[in-house]
Amino acid sequence: MLGRTLRETLRINMKKEIPALMKPTFVWGRRHSVSVALKQGQITPTELCQRCLSLIKKTKFLNAYITVSEEVALKQAEESEKRYKKGHSLGDLDGIPIAVKDNFSTSGIETTCASNMLKGYVPPYNATVVQKLLDQGALLMGKTNLDEFAMGSGSTDGIFGPVKNPWSYSKQYREKRKQNSHSENEDSNWLITGGSSGGSAAAVSAFTCFAALGSDTGGSTRNPAAHCGVVGLKPSYGLVSRHGLIPLVNSMDVPGILTRCVDDAATVLGVLAGHDPKDSTTIQDPVKPFTLPSLTDVSKLCIGIPKEYLTPELSSEVQSLWSKAANLFESEGAKVTEVSLPHTSYSIVCYHVLCTSEVASNMARFDGLEYGHRCDSDVSTEAMYAATRREGFNDVVRGRILSGNFFLLKENYENYFVKAQKVRRLIANDFVNVFNSGVDVLLTPTTLSEAVPYTEFIKEDNRTRSAQDDIFTQAVNMAVCDQQLLTVAKWFEKQVQFPVIQLQELMDDCLSVFENEKLASVSLK
């Protein structure tokens, strides 16, 4: 049943260069290596947790975390350590530090959605995906930053401030800037992480955790993964439970996975996937944990290149890397062919209508009565509603609510919402037709360009940026693609050997703690 249940949509990250692998500077960069070290007693969960907490504090300037759950994590590490000593490990994630985007409910830990509307809100329960990770012994390091209510593509519009891309402070980026003779102040010219799951992507990229949860409605996991140089996986709708994910667009929201390698993403997906009685949209078939086979022969694969994705706005660098990736497959014997997704040009407009309509409906629950922010006005119930929502939501959220309510007006419903649903079906059929034609994998960019400096990003408004940055990612959220891509992605990752971020000062600090000879064997694969 693997072919039917593993219905993930993975955008292979074309934002990274394709040179030989640089020497790793971090001995426990991947979850698999650390899991082996934990089982062999080379490191304890408490030591691992403390090291990640130290890195979180050291990288606080990145603003990746909204809440750091230090006491919770250390207590979980202590329990994990007891299990390892007894030989009763819960699995591959036992003792592994993780982070969770701050739009997933976490019992006893503040969940804000980076909004004044939910600031101070502490849920009484865990989201299903969070509970599944905790049941496997994972250590919750904290809640990560995002665009307010996950509406954005830069992680710049939350009330806690923008997230900074760890690559802005890497040795590679500094050398690149020197070569280009940039003289701008580094403190004001850092790169954006992408969004809206920028905090989770930055947390993984900066080695403060080994996996993180994001959410993906139109690209919010894959976009920041590309910009931060990590793996971003959007499971197909229904494969992973949405229960406890504060909704943005019910018909498109999917919990996303961010890790530093494809194998780790597959491990986390194996834990999270499956039916949830609390979410009626999840698949009914049981999903068993799995490991990815090592693909050695790609000659039987057919790789599709959507011609509509070759847009004038696509940067020359991304276009060049896209071609190199296609040539790599072709040189190894795979068939690379141009395909057509003819309704791509309508997808952004269609997505905007459907997204804002569902946003308007979902945001109606935040009225100041049951939970969340409530204004001090006592003039009337209507005045209290209006003041609460004006104070609680930022301009981006209010704008989407207004747009959605316009599309849902009686006189507009047929002309906008119903038509958008029909176009959505055409977009979904485009993907079905391509895969039915014999294509196994679609190879596309994730974003139009590399991560841009914050000062350049904010020159355009949120809506314009989102429309631009989601062009390659949002269409598939309106479709269902039953394709096994993780195995191909693992092969691609091995062939390309992506560079590892070099945060030398931070890494030296971490390595000093693990100088003993036993840990010398715990290295990146």
Catalytic residue numbers, as ranges:
101, 196, 220
- Map 370-406 to HEC letters: CCCCCCCCCCCHHHHHHHHHHHHCCHHHHHHHHHHHH
Per the CB < 8 A criterion, the answer to whether 219 and 191 are in contact is: no
Phi, psi of 232 (to 5 degrees): -120, 120
Beta carbons within 10 angstroms of residue 417's beta carbon? 18
Alpha carbons within 13 angstroms on the beta-carbon side of residue 239 total: 32
| DSSP secondary structure letter of residue 458 | T
For 244-329, where are the E strands, in sequence order?
254-259, 302-306
What distances in angstroms separate CA 129 from CA 105, 254, 497, one per listed residue? Answer: 10, 11, 30
Note the Cα 175 to chain centre separation in Å. Answer: 28
β-bridge pairing 231-234 and 211-216: unpaired
Per the CB < 8 A criterion, the answer to whether 150 and 156 are in contact is: no
CA distance 85 to 39: 9
* Of the candidates 128, 102, 133, the residue with the CA atom closest to the CA atom of residue 211: 133
Contacts of 287 (CB under 8 A, 6+ apart): 1, 5, 239, 270, 273, 274, 275
Phi, psi of 245 (to 5 degrees): -85, 115
* Of the candidates 227, 192, 157, the residue with the CA atom closest to the CA atom of residue 453: 192
What distances in angstroms separate CA 48 from CA 55, 87, 96, 142, 200, one per listed residue? Answer: 11, 18, 8, 15, 19
CA distance 52 to 55: 5
Evaluate the CA torsion angle 258, 134, 144, 105 in order and state its sign.
Answer: positive
* 3-state SS assignment for residue 67: strand
